[in-house]
């Protein structure tokens, strides 16, 4: 049975890889194609993941009853902390397993996302990265050599954080798009601040300065990949020394993760500091939104008409739902974000998050994690207390 499911997955993944590669930004969305592929993903996941099948059965959501991709039962992100969700139910079949940072919930609460085919992840992340992040993308069908640029990564190399989907992505784009002058100046997990962990002192600012100066001497733009917290740390480091490090003209900065855990650090503070210390205007700063539970990403410009609205490839659809009824809220209204990612073909494609946001014309305004239920009186939140008392997770 498992072999059948895996064979079905391979066939679907091949189709998806080819579809992702053929995407032409700006082309109209093909609703029929998305629907067919989404339902194909659902059939595969329903049959191939026992826990998901039982979950769907309890809701009456089966391949026979679901005719619209919007009716596929969504899986709450918390489920990724319970069981490995992958087609075939054989964790040994995963090529790589990504883990959430779990920093806000304790180490034992880390979610895991097993990936059956890392090639599919690569296929889903490269075209949107090229379109939304790289300066002056070339025309369609260019070979791998055409788009190489200098990339400076402030994220640790993937071998030092092998379960980080973000590091994996940075590694993939450096391999695919990075020219010889590319480098990473971060070392160790501590440098990974995607979800609020302490960036620590694992970022080598001297090496970063040398790379920037090299790029300037070569008159080549630089693409910087970093968590938002690392960017803030960099600009603070420069400010503390009263220094400025102008990035070459045409450079880009992709930041991700937001200012989690840093009270009072607003988006405009980050952009202002980047302009002042790195000479990069907000229009050259692109905010990336990704989740361990999703293999596709969204990107938002930091200036101009679409500022703050995340766009993604057509194989990632996002809806804002009423958390009580799970009905879609009217366009532009705030709801709980639910993503439908075809790149997740090997796990579960429909993921219900704890994030609030708006959706308009297919773009998403991310409003951060739901504040959580308001404090309920003198009722105790035991988790923090138990953790504080014995340092143990659940």
Partner 1 sequence: MTGASDASGPHPETHGDDLPVRPWHLPGLETPSEPEAAGGDAGRGSPWHRAETAGGASFRVPALDGERMASVAAAVRNASRAARRERDLDAVIEAVSRAATRLADPDSPWGRSAEALLRAELGWPAAPARETLRRMADGWTAGTLGDLVEAELGDPGLLDGYGPAPARDGSPRMRRAAGPPLLLQVQAGNVPGVGVTGVIRGLLVRSGLLVRPSRSEPGLAALFARSLADLAPELGRSVAVCWWPSEGEPAWRSAARRAGKVVVYGGDDAVRRIRARVPGDTELVPYGPRLGVAVMLPDASVRRAARRLAEDVCAYEQRGCVSPRVLLTPRTLRDPAARALEKALSTWVKENETAPLSPDEAADLRQLRGRAEFAGEGEARLVSDPGELRWTVLAGGEPSLRSRALPRVVRVHGVAGIGEVRRLLATLEGRVQALAYAGREGLRELADAAAVTGVSRLCPVGSAAWPPADWRHDGRHQLLPLLRWTDWELPGGEGRDG
- Binding residues for partner 1, rule CB under 8 A, total 40
- Output the smallest distance, CB 333 to partner 1, in A: 11
Nearer Cβ to partner 1, position 219 or 325?
Answer: 325
Could you say whether residue 294 binds partner 1 (CB under 8 A)?
no
Could you say whether residue 59 binds partner 1 (CB under 8 A)?
yes
Query: Using the 8-state DSSP alphabet, how is residue 73 labeled?
Result: P
- Output the smallest distance, CB 382 to partner 1, in A: 5
CA atoms of 279 and 123, how far apart (whole Å): 33
Handedness of CA 264, 267, 271, 272 (dihedral sign): negative
- Residues 358-387 touching partner 1, rule: CB under 8 A, are 370-383, 385-386
CA atoms of 80 and 227, how far apart (whole Å): 23
CA atoms of 18 and 238, how far apart (whole Å): 44
Tell me the C-alpha to C-alpha distance, in Å, between residue 253 and each of 26, 178, 202, 313, 333.
23, 14, 20, 20, 30
- What lies within 8 Å, CB to CB, of 323 at 6+ separation is 335, 336, 370
Could you say whether residue 354 binds partner 1 (CB under 8 A)?
yes
Could you say whether residue 76 binds partner 1 (CB under 8 A)?
yes
Binding mask 12-51 for partner 1 (x = CB under 8 A): ---------------------------------------x
Of 342, 352, 359, 364, the one binding partner 1 by CB under 8 A: 352
Could you say whether residue 105 binds partner 1 (CB under 8 A)?
no
Tell me the C-alpha to C-alpha distance, in Å, between residue 350 and each of 79, 254, 278, 327.
12, 26, 39, 14
- Output the smallest distance, CB 45 to partner 1, in A: 13
Could you say whether residue 172 binds partner 1 (CB under 8 A)?
no
As beta bridge partners, residue 115 has 96
CA atoms of 18 and 317, how far apart (whole Å): 19
- Output the smallest distance, CB 335 to partner 1, in A: 8
Nearer Cβ to partner 1, position 7 or 383?
Answer: 383
| Residues across the chain | 394
Residue ranges binding partner 1 (CB under 8 A): 51-52, 55, 58-59, 75-79, 81-83, 85, 322-324, 336, 352, 354, 356, 370-383, 385-386, 389-390, 394
């Amino acid at each position: 049975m498992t072999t059948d499911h895996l064979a079905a997955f391979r066939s679907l993944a091949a189709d998806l890889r080819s579809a992702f590669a053929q995407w032409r930004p700006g082309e109209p969305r093909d609703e029929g194609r998305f629907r067919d592929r989404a339902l194909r993903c659902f059939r595969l996941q329903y049959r191939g993941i026992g826990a998901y099948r039982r979950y769907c059965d309890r809701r009456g959501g089966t391949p026979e009853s679901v005719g619209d991709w919007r009716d596929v039962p969504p899986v709450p992100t918390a489920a990724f902390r319970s069981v490995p969700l992958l087609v075939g139910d054989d964790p040994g079949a995963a090529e790589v397993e990504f883990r959430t940072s779990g920093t806000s919930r304790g180490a034992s609460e880390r979610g895991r996302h097993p990936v059956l085919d890392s090639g599919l992840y690569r296929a889903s992340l490269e075209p949107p990265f090229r379109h939304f992040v790289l300066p002056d993308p070339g025309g369609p069908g260019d070979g791998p050599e055409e788009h190489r640029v200098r990339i400076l990564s402030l994220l640790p190399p993937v071998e030092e954080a092998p379960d980080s989907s973000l590091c994996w992505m940075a590694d993939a784009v450096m391999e695919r798009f990075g020219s010889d002058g590319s480098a990473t100046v971060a070392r160790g997990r501590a440098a990974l601040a995607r979800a609020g962990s302490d960036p620590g002192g694992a970022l080598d600012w001297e090496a970063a300065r040398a790379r920037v100066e090299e790029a300037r001497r070569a008159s080549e733009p630089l693409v910087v990949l970093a968590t938002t917290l690392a960017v803030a740390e960099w600009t603070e480091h420069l400010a503390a020394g009263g220094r400025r490090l102008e990035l070459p003209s045409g450079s880009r900065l992709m930041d991700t993760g937001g200012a989690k855990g840093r009270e009072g650090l607003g988006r405009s503070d980050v952009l202002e500091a980047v302009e002042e210390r790195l000479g990069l205007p907000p229009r050259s700063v692109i905010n990336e939104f990704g989740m361990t539970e999703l293999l596709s990403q969204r990107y938002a410009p930091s200036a101009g008409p679409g500022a703050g609205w995340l766009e993604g490839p057509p194989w990632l659809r996002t809806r804002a739902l009423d958390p009580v009824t799970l009905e879609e809220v009217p366009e532009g209204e705030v709801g709980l974000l639910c993503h439908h990612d075809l790149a997740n073909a090997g796990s579960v494609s429909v993921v219900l998050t704890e994030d609030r946001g708006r959706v308009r014309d297919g773009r998403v305004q991310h409003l951060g994690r739901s504040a959580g239920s308001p404090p309920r009186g003198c009722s105790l939140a035991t988790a923090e207390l138990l953790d504080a008392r014995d340092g143990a997770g659940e």
